[in-house]
């Protein structure tokens, strides 16, 4: 059995919240034989993938019990269910992607918004191919990773389609000034990368702020993070953090709230979007 994905865990957590004070046995009894305790337990604990018809039936049951099951919530949960079983474009790269990275790509594909804080690098959704390639080579901790760099660059560039699709994802990125002043032996690499930031920052769905190098001590110095938002259903939001050799998701509601609060403090400390674009342009002239 495959390990539970973050998508299945978010679905299970929401269904558990809707169940409220009822026991699994009571839900099974009220379902008129459609569900048994063990099946409900596997869905809530993400030990098995839920089927759309089962989630739909559970939501119908919870609605009759007075739970707040709006059309928007139903659509969001059914999307989580369906996407968990769908084969996205990234499945053709399964030999090079970790399960955590596959989760990130699938969540990006369905999220309404991304709020990102990056301490040392340009956010992946805004990287040029050459910048991504050199960054991956610099961070590669094994020959196996080095051998997959070209494929990983393809994946990173393909991910960026969420910003230009018909209904684009809204990205608000805060980037530390030090990331803009990185250097490279590749001629023009940072010049082109900063040019991409300026160009993408003109899109209505993309906001870019720079946190100046001389800013006072701030919460962002503890590390980078990304909050993936799913519109009005904040309890489906998730935080993604990444380290040198691993990545993880923060799913507990209080911790997600703490990261959102930290992000708000960072956006208040950063330069305005307009002033950030001016600084990026200025740095680019010498890159």
State yes or no: pLDDT of 281 exceeds 70.
Answer: yes
SS3 track for 90-122: HHHHCCCCCHHHHHHHHHHHHCCEEEEEECCCC
Lowest-confidence range among 45-49, 112-116, 169-173, 264-268?
45-49
CA 247 to chain centroid? 12
Residue length of the chain: 287
What residues does 240 pair with on adjacent strands?
226, 249
The CATH 1.10.260.40 domain(s) of the chain lie at: 6-85
What's the pLDDT tens digit per position in 52-95? 999 999 999 999 999 999 998 998 888 888 765 555 788 888 78
Token pair of 146 as six digits: 């080095």
Span 93-285: which CATH code? 3.30.870
Question: For position 37, what pLDDT does the model report?
Answer: 86
Residues 50 and 72: their CA atoms lie apart, in Å, by 19
* Number of alpha carbons in the 13 Å side-chain half-sphere of residue 50: 34
Which two three-digit tokens encode residue 4?
């539970």
Is the dihedral angle over the CA atoms 219, 233, 159, 51 positive or is it negative? positive
State the pairing for strand pair 206-211/225-229.
Answer: unpaired
Closest CA to 242 of 261, 223, 255: 223
* Protein fold of 6-85: 434 Repressor (Amino-terminal Domain) (1.10.260)
Q: What is the DSSP string of 119-161?
A: SSS--GGG--HHHHHHHHHHH--SHHHHHTHHHHHHHHHHHGG
Please return the burial class of 66, using the count of CB atoms within 10 Å of its CB with bins 0-12, 13-18 and 19+.
exposed
DSSP character string of 53-80:
HHHHHHHHHHHHTT----HHHHHHHHHH
* DSSP state letter for 270: S
Q: Which two tokens stand for residue 172?
A: 């608000």
Query: What pLDDT score does 76 carry?
Result: 85
Boundaries of CATH 3.30.870 in the chain?
93-285
Three-state DSSP at 196 gives: helix
Residue 172 CA: distances (Å) to CA of 96, 143, 163, 190, 203: 28, 34, 11, 21, 11
Which residue, among 234, 171, 261, 250, has the nearest Cα to 208 in the 3D structure? 171
**CA distance to 94, 181, 261, 269, per residue, from 216 (Å):** 43, 19, 18, 9
HSE of 109, CA atoms in CB hemisphere, 13 A: 20
The pLDDT of 218-246, averaged and rounded, is 87
Residues whose CB falls within 8 Å of the CB of residue 164, separated by 6 or more in sequence, listed in order: 203
The residue among 146 and 287 whose pLDDT is bigger is 287
Global confidence as pTM? 0.82
| Span 120-175, pLDDT tens digits | 999 999 999 999 999 998 887 666 677 789 999 999 999 999 999 999 999 999 99
């Amino acid at each position: 059995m495959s390990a539970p994905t973050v998508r299945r865990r978010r679905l299970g957590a929401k269904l558990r919240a809707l169940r409220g004070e009822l026991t699994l046995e009571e839900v099974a009894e009220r379902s008129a034989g459609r569900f048994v305790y063990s099946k409900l337990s596997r869905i809530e604990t993400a030990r098995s993938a839920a089927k759309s018809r089962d989630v739909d039936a559970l939501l119908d049951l919870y609605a009759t019990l007075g739970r707040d099951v709006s059309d928007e919530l139903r659509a969001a949960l059914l999307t989580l269910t369906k996407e968990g079983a769908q084969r996205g474009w990234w499945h053709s790269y399964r030999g090079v992607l970790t399960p955590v990275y596959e989760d990130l790509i699938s969540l990006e594909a369905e999220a309404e918004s991304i709020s990102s804080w990056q301490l040392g690098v340009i956010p992946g959704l805004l990287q040029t191919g050459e910048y991504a390639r050199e960054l991956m080579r610099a961070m590669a901790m094994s020959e196996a990773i080095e051998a997959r760099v070209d494929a990983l660059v393809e994946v990173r560039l393909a991910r960026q389609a969420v910003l230009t699709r018909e209904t684009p994802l809204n990205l608000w990125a805060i980037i530390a000034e030090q990331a803009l002043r990185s250097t490279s032996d590749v001629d023009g690499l940072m010049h082109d990368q900063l040019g991409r930031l300026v160009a993408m920052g003109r899109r209505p769905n993309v906001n870019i702020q720079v946190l100046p190098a001389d800013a006072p001590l701030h919460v962002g110095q503890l590390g980078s993070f990304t909050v993936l938002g799913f519109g009005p259903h904040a309890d489906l939001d998730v935080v993604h953090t990444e380290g040198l050799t691993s990545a993880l998701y923060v799913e507990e509601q209080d911790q997600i709230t703490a990261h959102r609060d930290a992000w708000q403090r960072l956006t208040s400390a950063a330069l305005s979007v307009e002033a950030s674009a001016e600084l990026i342009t200025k740095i680019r002239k010498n890159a």
